[in-house]
Amino acid sequence: MTTPIAWLEAVEVDYPRGPALGPFDFELAPGEITALVGPSGCGKSTALRLLAGLEAPTRGRVERASGRGETAVVFQAPTLMPWASALDNVALPLELAGTPRPAARARAAAALARVKLAGIDLAKPAQLSGGMAMRVSLARALVTDPRLLLLDEPFAALDEITRRALAEDVHQLWLQSQLAIVFVTHNVEEAVYMASRVVVMTSGPGRAAGGAMIDAPLPRPPGFRTTAHFRQAAEKVSADLAKAMDVGAMEAT
Amino acid sequence: MNRALSLLAPFVLIAILLAVWEIVCRALAVPLFLLPPPSAIAVATAQNAPLLMSSAWNTLSMAVLAWIAASLFACGLALLVGTHSLIEDAVRPLAVVIQVTPIVAIAPLVNIWAGLDHPQRGVVGLAAVVAFFPIFSGALTGLKGADPDLERLFDLYGATRLQRLFRLRLPAAVPFVLEGHKVAAGLAVVGAVVAEFVAGSGGAQGLAWRILEASNRLQTAKMFAALLVLAAMGVALYTLLQTAERVILRRWRGR
């Protein structure tokens, strides 16, 4: 077994309104794609912020083998600076780290090309469609060549066709750079299609409650969605999710 | 065609109202000091045009001076306050006190401090006090109103305080600061007029003084003429700033 790139050990997070997460254990191998699925408020975004180092656990241990700039986050909204061009938005992480502007911009242009957005460098976010803005956000995450990419419901606000296209793009990017990816989603089909492992989480407070390994090789053809393998995994995840929601509902009463 | 009509509509309404006003005044033989007809107001405006223009310039220049002073002070303070939450806790209640205290009530005090021989200073000071709050409040809201996820992103990449200020908070504040300045410009004119009224002497030869003077002499048509110029000034100022805001915002967000 290779050394995990990030792991959470018995982490618990308490918010003023009560416990939000834990105890929760999680391990991520280099190059692995993991989906966290669960009802609203099950702490999946909290787990993601712990992995990003944006939040500290109340109890437990968070370890990351990757340093600053090696972890990237894509949020639910594109989260671009509306006043800055696509190129400047993508160059931001490099410039914050002190990379000189011309070099940062050159790498940003390359990152935009990787997400199939070459030639929109000077466009501002308001001039982009939702899918394009999300791609710019993805390019910004990739510009530092991270080893760990965290996606917090990245496609939730997009239409089905755009979501599927982006899911395939993420697979292509994964293929090029062998990133470890953790992504949070509400969508069982998306989780099973994209991930090599799905972790189902239950709420109140958030804990692991089953899931599935999907050992079909990545990237997967769109036709994978119609295979028996896909259907079985999706049914298993759906069943675990239904159980998790019952547990969450019981604990909430 | 539709667009032309909707542009024309307010002018047609004004024309109808003026006509009714003129006819009623003449038919009922309303005394001139009570309600002069539009024709008399037009004559008064034309006769007093040079005086009204120089008075308008007086009021406007004092208001603009006050607006600039308020802008510098409010933006500077917002910058200081926005980067230190303790200072904000200390300053915000005071700013609110200044804002909720009726301007007319502070005016005599400001006039004394400005020196009774220098009513212009009092007018500028008072107008600046009124113009201060919207700019301060807008700038502070803007500085603290950046997208929380963008703030997290700056955390993630280990941004320094200065990087965060210049690359995130200042640009994010631009629309709020512009809006604050637009509101403040209108308020600066109000503040200047109120201060002139309270000063009550001819020292500050602005439009408000023309109104007072005409009122004391029962020259009602001249009062209307001064009001007309004041309203026109307000509309011109508002239009100018509205356009400036639109142009700057279009550049800011790229469309």
Question: What's the pLDDT band for A250 if we cut at 50, 70, 90?
Answer: low
pLDDT tens digits along B85-127: 888 888 888 888 888 888 888 888 888 888 877 888 888 998 9
* Boundaries of domain holding B122: 47-253
Q: How far is B252 from chain A (nearest CA, A)?
A: 5
In a domain, B31, yes or no: no
Asked if the Cβ–Cβ distance from A96 to B163 is below 8 Å, we say yes
B89: contact with A, CB 8 A cutoff: no
Closest-CA residue in chain A for B173?
Answer: A83
Spell out which residues of chain A touch residue B168, defining contact as CB-CB under 8 Å: 81
Q: Report DSSP letters for B165-217, one per residue.
A: IIIIIHHHHHHHHHHHHHHHHHHHHHHHHHHHHHH-STTS-SHHHHHHHHHHT
Closest-CA residue in chain A for B153?
Answer: A73
Of A2-6, A45-49, B180-184, B240-244, the poorest mean pLDDT is in A2-6
Q: Which ipTM did the prediction report?
A: 0.86
* Residue in B150, B156, B163 closest to A81 by CB: B150
pLDDT tens digits along B40-58: 999 999 999 999 999 999 9
Q: Which helix (H) or strand (E) holds A22?
A: strand A18-28
* Full-model pTM: 0.83
Q: Is the pLDDT of residue B73 over 80?
A: yes
pLDDT at A178: 80
pLDDT at A253: 47
Q: What distance in Å separates the CA atoms of residue B227 and residue B222, rounded to the nearest whole number?
A: 9
pLDDT at B223: 94
In a domain, B162, yes or no: yes
The count of domains in chain B is: 1
Between the alpha carbon of residue A92 and those of residues A37, A82, A132, B39, B190, the distances in Å are 30, 13, 18, 64, 44
Across chain A, what does the average pLDDT equal? 87
In a domain, B187, yes or no: yes
When pLDDT is averaged across residues B149-177 and rounded to a whole number, the result is: 92
Inter-chain CB pairs, A–B, below 8 Å? 62
pLDDT tens digits along A217-249: 888 888 888 898 889 988 998 888 888 877 666
In a domain, B32, yes or no: no
Spell out which residues of chain B touch residue A71, defining contact as CB-CB under 8 Å: 156
Q: Which helix (H) or strand (E) holds A62?
A: strand A59-64
In a domain, B199, yes or no: yes
Of A56-70, A125-139, B1-15, B219-233, the poorest mean pLDDT is in A56-70
In a domain, B9, yes or no: no
Tell me which residues of chain A have a C-beta less than 8 Å from any C-beta of chain B.
Answer: 49, 52-54, 68-69, 71-73, 75, 77, 79, 81-85, 92-93, 95-97, 123-127, 144
Asked if the Cβ–Cβ distance from A73 to B168 is below 8 Å, we say no
What are A243-246's contacts with CB under 8 Å, separation 24+? Answer: A243/A202, A243/A209, A243/A210, A244/A38, A244/A39, A244/A42, A244/A200, A244/A201, A244/A202, A244/A203, A244/A209, A244/A210, A245/A39, A245/A202, A245/A203
When pLDDT is averaged across residues A195-210 and rounded to a whole number, the result is: 85
Closest-CA residue in chain B for A73?
Answer: B153
Asked if the Cβ–Cβ distance from B168 to A81 is below 8 Å, we say yes
CATH of the domain at B165: 1.10.3720.10
Q: Kindly state the percentage of chain A with pLDDT values over 70.
A: 95
Q: Is the pLDDT of residue A129 over 80?
A: yes
Q: Which of B151, B147, B148, B178 is nearest to B163 (CA)?
A: B151
Spell out which residues of chain B touch residue A127, defining contact as CB-CB under 8 Å: 254-255
pLDDT at B93: 87
pLDDT tens digits along A2-31: 788 888 888 888 888 888 887 888 888 888
pLDDT tens digits along B209-239: 899 889 889 999 999 999 999 999 988 998 9
Torsions phi, psi for A14 (to 5 deg): -105, 135
Q: What distance in Å separates the CA atoms of residue B25 and residue B42, rounded to the nearest whole number?
A: 15
Asked if the Cβ–Cβ distance from A68 to B157 is below 8 Å, we say yes
Q: Which residue has the tokens 């002070």?
A: B73
Q: What distance in Å separates the CA atoms of residue A188 and residue B255, rounded to the nearest whole number?
A: 38
